[in-house]
Structure 1
Amino acid sequence: MPLGVYNELRATVPLLANQSEDCLYLNIYVPGSGARGVEAPYAVVVWAGGPSHEWGTANALDGAVLAARAHLLVVTINYRLGLLGYLTPGVRSTAVQAAGGAAVLDVAAALGWVRRNVAAFGGDPRRVTLAGHAAGAALVNALLMLPDSKGLVSRVLLLSGSALSPTALAPDAALAREHTAQSLRCTPETTNDENWFVECIRARPLAALLAVEAPKARFLAGWAPSVPISRETASQGQAPTRALHASEAFLDCALAVVVATTESYQFFNEEDIRHGFEEEHRNRILRTYVRNVYRYHRNEIFAAIRNEYTDWEKPIQHPINIRDATLESLSDAAVTAPALRVAQLHARRGARTYFAHFAHQSKDADYPQVVLRVKPCLTSWGCPWWVACSTRRRNYSRGDVAVAEMSVSLLAAFAKTGDPTPRAEERHHDGATSWPRYEMNTQQYLSIGEIFPELYTTTSALDDEEDSTEPEEDSSEVEECEPSPSPRPALSALPAPQPSPKEDSLTNLDSQYYSYTVALGVTVGAGCFLLALNVLVFAGIYLQRGRRRTAHRRPRREAQQRVRTQREAEQRRRRAAKKTRPDPRDIGVDDF
């Protein structure tokens, strides 16, 4: 277990001391001005859970800071978890089966209560934003597949999760029912009722139910919501992508999706995170992911992932580099790519969609040498001002405070107007950061992190700060320096741009595509030029060798020609001499 996950569990354990199925309660945080404040009725933010489908509590996050600084009415809700929240009975006529789990119905019931009663607390029932982080974001996304969820919320915020993630939905609800029936020794013979499974579960004590573990494979969900069943589809439901595409509730609300740089460190242990690992271990991890998540073309997918996330320029791969590349690949596959797909499905129908990459890295993180995430949910809730955050981290830099101020401003603007770009009077900083709308033709998104300049003080001020134990009275007045260079992007699907102090935080994916096209064209052109140059060089060498061969053969041919000429001349002389010599038969006696 990584140190960050351990610290989070350690801080949450005291809040889980009192566990019960009678958990359907909610907490309401109202700004100090009350229902008669200047901004009343207030926009409402409903927080629907945190990092796991099996444990959690609404008390883990204190909404007082967010309500006070953003002037919002904050509601945190509880719902059933684990087997009690996500086991489906297998009978299509039941509401739990149709919704994909009792937890989905719990959230829907809480939203209905908020819509009916929030006006009594100074809230605006027409401006309700439903937010969730990780598993909570998947639950929120699954709720939007329900036809009955239309009108419950007007805005949705998904942080580090979506319904399309492999860890979001139950891979096989029927297998979970069968496994539970075997663990609890439930059989159809025990009762003649068609609801035999439900009756058997009701007859078992709570301790026996909590002891049942869901059949879970690595990188897949255990207890998790199922795809809701519509009236038009078969009993097994439909694909999550198709369900979202057909959901009017999903398309009617404004959607904001936020992902962090590294979303997969919970899949590794402390040793792997701290010291890295070799290629063989990396290959086993990737093979396991491909085998559990995909059904077809597994070898091709594994080869493509390994090729894409391997730095081929380095002949020897360091374990730390292998760890970083593996974290990047699993983050893209398990969280970033599914979340981007949800944003594209929403934007394709013309709905208001916003996408952001949370790239901020705190200097006081659990692993300073690793580019791990600071949870956007904690920062959006104003964690530097939140007392309970001291259990997670104690030292917050001014950069952390600046990022938290910006995150709170973005969340407040989105909850109030549906547009996350803060108005000038609501900004807690001097910058003019705006969050552009995500559209299919431009694909603009916001990058939160390096866009904020690092805040600093002079050396003398730092020395005084180290010697003094009293907090500064006015710590908000700071100077800013040139931003540091942007780190290596950790999202292959979303290349992070280089920040500029004179530009805002817009990142245009389309321009990145054009830059890549130009670079590819230059590379291909250079390759063609080198190929032509090599052809010319080889042609010149071939011609030169031909000339040398001709030069060597010419003297031999001339010598042979001279010998042939001499022989022919000798033969002609002999023939001439033979003709001029008198024949002895023609000599007479008188000649003597």
Structure 2
Amino acid sequence: MSSRDLVVVSVNYRIGPLGYLDPDGSGGGDGASGNPWLSDQVAALRWVNAHIAAFGGDPDRVTVAGQSGGALSTAALAGHPLTQGLIRRVILQSPPLGLDLPDPAAYRERAAAYLEPAGAEDAAALRALPWQELIGAAAGLFARTTAWGYWPTPFLPVIDGTSLRTHPAHALLDGSAADIDVMIGWTREEANFGFALDEGYADATREQVTDRIADTFGKEAADSVYAAYARARPGSRPVDVLMDLITDELFRVPALRLAEARAESGHPVWAYQFDLPTPAHGGRLGAAHCLELPFVFDNFDQWAHAPFLAGLDPAVRDGLAYAMHRAWISFVRTGDPNHPDLPQWRPYDTRTRTTMCFDTVVTALGDPAGASRLLHGPARTSAQPSAPLI
């Protein structure tokens, strides 16, 4: 992020088996955290609160921002009992709020599945392994938890009742977290990042995709849901329907539900959709997961070798980055993303559902994701199935 009178702090935290694995299956019930990835970030946030003034920052105006897993972390931090009063604003970019997060009992199965590829007999033996062997064994858990048509999620947060009391999708709705300023958004084709270039999906059949749809909507509704997705994208192939489904159930629809719930409770939330497709890889990626990052930071010089940015028109790229970068800065400063070079961006509400769409032309639209919102319905659970353990 450009300085522009902001102090930016980036933190490291444990991921993979070092951050997400709960080898004892205690879920924090023994007094230890079942989520080291989260306790690391809590410690960092508390450090920021104590020391940021020495760097020119304001501890009373801290914005926590994250993308993808980082956005899930951001929501979890907002609802954490040890961070109350430490966060003024949050920016959630492409949060996978549709993940079905396990409780300690369910996570014990995942921890047990990790023992075999790690070559360990029990949790004690697992704890004795060098970190290099723990990282190397992660591929084995990938194999055990990867299922056709699902975003791979071998390591997941565990809702342990202490460090993570509720699903992050609900963390910004209650208590003091409800008063935190929120910006939330997604890219139009999130799932293309993980599936569009995978040749194993290129020849997906309608039957395969319909079976996958049935996991979410039930067998009786699967054909009609497939038809609805196909109508929304004329000329689509079965794999396109699959990617739109995954985008909706993992990212877009849960984000919309959070925006709807915040709006209904009278707490402002600003929503956006990143629509600019990349011409890279023959255009197959569309507006994929992660594509908005260099636009938000307006630092394309540091992305010079990123293949998914190849072919972007420099004028379009730089103009969109200017608009997005300034909106993010404005939100961090004031809680309102509007600036003089941006069309008026109103908070999301359940009447107009204003969403800022970032494309070659930046436009505030009413309910651009309405078809997805209506198709999935308000009564459907916010957490969709993760890939099953096999």
TM (normalized to structure 2)?
0.80
What is the Cα deviation at residue 170 of structure 1? 5.0
Give the corresponding residue for 1:54. Answer: none
What secondary structure does 1:255 align onto?
A: strand
1:211 counterpart = 2:211: no
Return the letter of the residue paired with 1:287: D
What pairs with 1:272-283 in structure 2 (closer than 5 Å)?
272=199, 276-277=202-203, 281-283=205-207
Match for residue 372 of structure 1 among 255, 264, 287? 287
What is the Cα deviation at residue 181 of structure 1? 4.1
Distance change in 2, residues 1:144/1:90 (3 Å): farther
Distance change in 2, residues 1:283/1:143 (3 Å): farther
What pairs with 1:222-371 in structure 2 (closer than 5 Å)?
222-230=154-162, 245-246=173-174, 248-268=175-195, 270=197, 272=199, 276-277=202-203, 281-288=205-212, 290-291=214-215, 294=216, 298-311=218-231, 321-362=237-278, 364-368=279-283, 371=286
What secondary structure does 2:282 align onto?
A: coil
1:413 counterpart = 2:330: yes
Distance change in 2, residues 1:439/1:272 (3 Å): same
What is the Cα deviation at residue 357 of structure 1? 0.9
What secondary structure does 2:33 align onto?
A: helix
What secondary structure does 2:61 align onto?
A: strand
* Inter-partner Cα distance in structure 1 for 2:342 and 2:31: 51
* Inter-partner Cα distance in structure 2 for 1:440 and 1:348: 7
What is the Cα deviation at residue 227 of structure 1? 2.3
* Inter-partner Cα distance in structure 1 for 2:243 and 2:255: 17
Moved more, 120-129 or 175-184: 175-184
Distance change in 2, residues 1:283/1:126 (3 Å): farther
What pairs with 1:159-238 in structure 2 (closer than 5 Å)?
159-162=93-96, 164-166=97-99, 169=101, 172-182=106-116, 183-187=118-122, 197=123, 199-213=124-138, 214=141, 215-218=144-147, 219=150, 221-230=153-162
* Inter-partner Cα distance in structure 2 for 1:438 and 1:266: 27
What secondary structure does 2:250 align onto?
A: helix
Give the corresponding residue for 2:383. Answer: none
Work out whether residues 445 and 506 of structure 1, in 8 Å CA contact, stay in contact via their aligned partners in 2.
yes
Give the corresponding residue for 2:364. Answer: 506
Work out whether residues 127 and 155 of structure 1, in 8 Å CA contact, stay in contact via their aligned partners in 2.
yes
* Inter-partner Cα distance in structure 1 for 2:232 and 2:46: 54
Give the corresponding residue for 2:302. Answer: 387
Q: Which of structures 1 and 2 has the bigger CA Rg?
A: 1
What is the Cα deviation at residue 228 of structure 1? 4.4
What secondary structure does 1:371 align onto?
A: coil
What is the Cα deviation at residue 366 of structure 1? 3.0
Work out whether residues 65 and 91 of structure 2, in 8 Å CA contact, stay in contact via their aligned partners in 1.
yes
* Inter-partner Cα distance in structure 2 for 1:307 and 1:394: 33
What secondary structure does 1:226 align onto?
A: coil
Distance change in 2, residues 1:79/1:290 (3 Å): farther
Return the letter of the residue paired with 2:17: L
What is the Cα deviation at residue 72 of structure 1? 1.9
* Inter-partner Cα distance in structure 2 for 1:152 and 1:290: 42
Work out whether residues 132 and 157 of structure 1, in 8 Å CA contact, stay in contact via their aligned partners in 2.
yes
Q: Percent identity?
A: 22
1:445 counterpart = 2:378: no
Work out whether residues 329 and 337 of structure 2, in 8 Å CA contact, stay in contact via their aligned partners in 1.
yes
Distance change in 2, residues 1:276/1:207 (3 Å): closer
Work out whether residues 193 and 285 of structure 2, in 8 Å CA contact, stay in contact via their aligned partners in 1.
no
Match for residue 78 of structure 1 among 9, 12, 36? 12
TM (normalized to structure 1)?
0.54
Work out whether residues 134 and 160 of structure 1, in 8 Å CA contact, stay in contact via their aligned partners in 2.
yes
What is the Cα deviation at residue 369 of structure 1? 6.0
1:433 counterpart = 2:343: yes
* Inter-partner Cα distance in structure 2 for 1:159 and 1:263: 11
Distance change in 2, residues 1:282/1:71 (3 Å): farther
Distance change in 2, residues 1:357/1:239 (3 Å): closer
What secondary structure does 1:130 align onto?
A: strand
Distance change in 2, residues 1:237/1:154 (3 Å): closer
Deviations along 1:386-409, one digit per CA (max 9) or x if unpaired, are: 334344446542011000000101
* Inter-partner Cα distance in structure 2 for 1:211 and 1:391: 26
Distance change in 2, residues 1:203/1:347 (3 Å): same
- Where relative contact order (Cα < 8 A, 6+ residues apart) is larger, the structure is 2
Work out whether residues 294 and 303 of structure 2, in 8 Å CA contact, stay in contact via their aligned partners in 1.
no
What is the Cα deviation at residue 110 of structure 1? 0.8
What secondary structure does 1:367 align onto?
A: helix
Work out whether residues 146 and 228 of structure 1, in 8 Å CA contact, stay in contact via their aligned partners in 2.
no
Work out whether residues 354 and 365 of structure 2, in 8 Å CA contact, stay in contact via their aligned partners in 1.
yes
Work out whether residues 142 and 225 of structure 1, in 8 Å CA contact, stay in contact via their aligned partners in 2.
no
Give the corresponding residue for 2:80. Answer: 146
Aligned-pair RMSD on alpha carbons? 3.2
* Inter-partner Cα distance in structure 2 for 1:165 and 1:394: 30
Return the letter of the residue paired with 1:387: Q
Distance change in 2, residues 1:146/1:400 (3 Å): same
Work out whether residues 305 and 329 of structure 1, in 8 Å CA contact, stay in contact via their aligned partners in 2.
no
Work out whether residues 250 and 346 of structure 1, in 8 Å CA contact, stay in contact via their aligned partners in 2.
no
What secondary structure does 2:193 align onto?
A: helix
Work out whether residues 282 and 326 of structure 1, in 8 Å CA contact, stay in contact via their aligned partners in 2.
no
